[in-house]
Chain A
């Protein structure tokens, strides 16, 4: 059986746990509503007013003027998430994180040790609650798509089990909107058919869906019947790691841009080292105010983990690429072309351990005291807007 575990209003709930005064109130995570930005999360109290994530902050403040706006604390969410994921992993090694607050768990083969899936799910809910005070909604089914629909059905603190064989009949009465994979454009193309429920879609001849939606039609038809062959796959090594930020106001101050870029590069390099990887390629992303986007990469003669080297190379790419007459909307720094935990040492290097030792010490300090504890060179800490998938694997 497959579990879909989804923490309820995660960022907002963490804020409420940290600050009990917020409990029971409309909390909107996303920062200063007067600035450019979107809602990262909203508590159930705020959702009652129609606030939802990805909504512009300016809209949220109109819908819910008494809402309490708090800036996001991603490092804290990361710690909570890790705690919860560790609980998941104590029940099965097959955990596929979808985001910081959402994961699929495959419990196949754990029954004889732990009992039936429903029992494990109840146990997970209780463990998460006692360890973090957070609520998690769980859907249990034979496939990912049905488990996902199930977890979403009775939020918050949802618990929905779909017994084997009843997938199609479970989905059939639900509104079409609940079916994963059905985006706005597909919905538009199906509109003339007047479908209301997932069952309506399942009842269509597959040819009709293929004709209207192509390959996606086939997948939707399968989903509507509760058929989903995708396995739960724990994340492997990422292919690339990057950090980017969109400025509140478009910038042409080279000094400031470089400060931010240093910080993005440092974060990318650290995340890469956390995966135990070395990179051979550094990447730069630069988006000007007119949305024209350029990317540049440079390959090093050999793999590296060194903070100094990676930051330096990315800065150099920026200095070569940036057209100083133009304002920048977005900056990104990243690393790719990974190899695992090995590095060719050089014959004529500085004592090889020196830079490596500095980098390792930096990482230890950051892990223990956070990024604010120590900065390297002139940098400007950017406000992290969200987590990325590559951060989710361990």
Chain B
């Protein structure tokens, strides 16, 4: 293998695949990144068996070949190089990759590419397409609600339904995010998958943002339907699926409300953040109080002090109400609602609160309140 590749391209490509590199010592091969020539591009690949990422970077391929190289060393070495073409030459006899960039040289010992696990790919089968920026926004709105601890594995996943619309739901037992959008080429009959939230967040990290971009992401299922593949022009991300039954979330979606409040999102978010500093020492409780066109956001710590912010609000239904939420759940939700104003709907201090953007129906965030004795 002999390849010349701009340092910036190589560095960017390695950053994309790095998150799939395994740090577990049980399978040392997984701490490597695969380098393989592919036409006029260089393919970088990493996998931890749950998540695999392929990334193609533009390169001048002089001689074909493939090898697996310690990922961390390669990435650190490449990142330290000047912005100039990097030449990589593999000596097949001892699998040492000789690297050269201006006046810096390096020799990195690799491993046979044949030892590297095969990463599944999709050649045929149904493929759906979704604008990259939209998919990224959907993931960011939903995946925050997924559980990060493994006590109930099903909650670490995002229930994804592929049909005429693409819908994503995540919940950690205390809150739930639901987002839907039209799916281009979506099938009449729905298919549901549970995709690890971690994998989707990696995908969101890789995808470009900005609505001006018209890049599309292709979504496909592996032939044996246990893996999902997301593909852009230069990246392919393959994720294992989570098996099991997602709880019946439709059943817990509130059907009605007693008090509905409309407030500016950024003001609410600011007030919640301020309150969270005071709430830190008292179970993270932020109390909301609604009264005659105003919302008060309060927190108190018996030892440190207390705080209250007031926000003008349009209050419908019962005018006076109280509810308490975990500050983190509140700020997480307000951070991702893409709307200048939000609606907060509540029924009682012990029933779920619902946050929606005022101007659309495609996003819902549900938070269970905290029961307080006072």
Contacts and interface: CB of A to CB of B under 8 A. Distances in A.
Contacts of A302: 174
Contact of A347 (B151, B175, B283, B370): B175
| Size band of the interface chain A makes with B | 10 to 19
Given A340-B302, A342-B283, A348 B370 contact: no
B366 A347 contact: yes
6 closest pairs, A vs B, by CB? A341-B373, A339-B283, A345-B368, A342-B372, A343-B371, A342-B283
B370 A342 contact: yes
Interface in B240-272: 247, 249, 252
Interface in A328-363: 339-348, 352-353, 356
B24 to A, nearest CB: 25
A197 to B, nearest CB: 44
A345 B372 contact: no
A352 B371 contact: yes
Given A344-B368, A347-B175, A352 B350 contact: yes
Contacts of A163: none
Contacts of B285: 342
A301 interface: yes
A276 interface: yes
Contacts of A345: 174, 350, 368-371
Contact of B176 (A276, A344, A347, A352): A347
Contacts of B176: 347
A312 to B, nearest CB: 15
Nearest to A237: B302
| Size band of the interface chain B makes with A | 20 to 34
A341 to B, nearest CB: 3
A341 B372 contact: yes
Contacts of B374: 341
B373 A276 contact: yes
A72 interface: no
B115 interface: no
Contact of B151 (A301, A339, A344): A301
A276 B350 CA distance: 18
B149 A301 contact: yes
Interface in B342-374: 350, 352, 366, 368-374
Interface in A48-95: none
B221 interface: no
B350 A353 contact: yes
B282 A340 contact: yes
Nearest to B325: A344
Contacts of B373: 276, 340-342
Interface in B113-137: none
B326 interface: yes
B153 interface: no
A342 B324 contact: yes
A302 B174 CA distance: 10
Interface of B: 149, 151, 171, 173-176, 247, 249, 252, 282-283, 285, 302, 324, 326, 350, 352, 366, 368-374
A340 B171 CA distance: 26
Nearest to B349: A345
A337 to B, nearest CB: 11
Contact of B174 (A339, A341, A342, A346): A346
Contact of B252 (A276, A344, A348, A353): A348
Most chain A CB within 10 A, of B174, B176, B282, B350, is at B174
A303 interface: yes
Contacts of A352: 350, 371
B142 to A, nearest CB: 15
A348 B372 contact: no
Nearest to B253: A347
8 contacts: A301-B151, A340-B283, A340-B302, A342-B324, A345-B174, A346-B368, A352-B371, A353-B350
Given A342-B324, A352-B350, A347 B173 contact: yes
Contacts of A276: 373
A236 to B, nearest CB: 9
Contacts of B368: 344-347
A356 B373 CA distance: 12
A249 B326 CA distance: 48
Given A301-B149, A340-B302, A346 B283 contact: no
A303 B173 contact: no
A386 B61 CA distance: 82
Nearest to B151: A301
Given A301-B149, A339-B283, A352-B350, A346 B173 contact: yes
Contacts of B151: 301
B183 to A, nearest CB: 26
A217 to B, nearest CB: 34
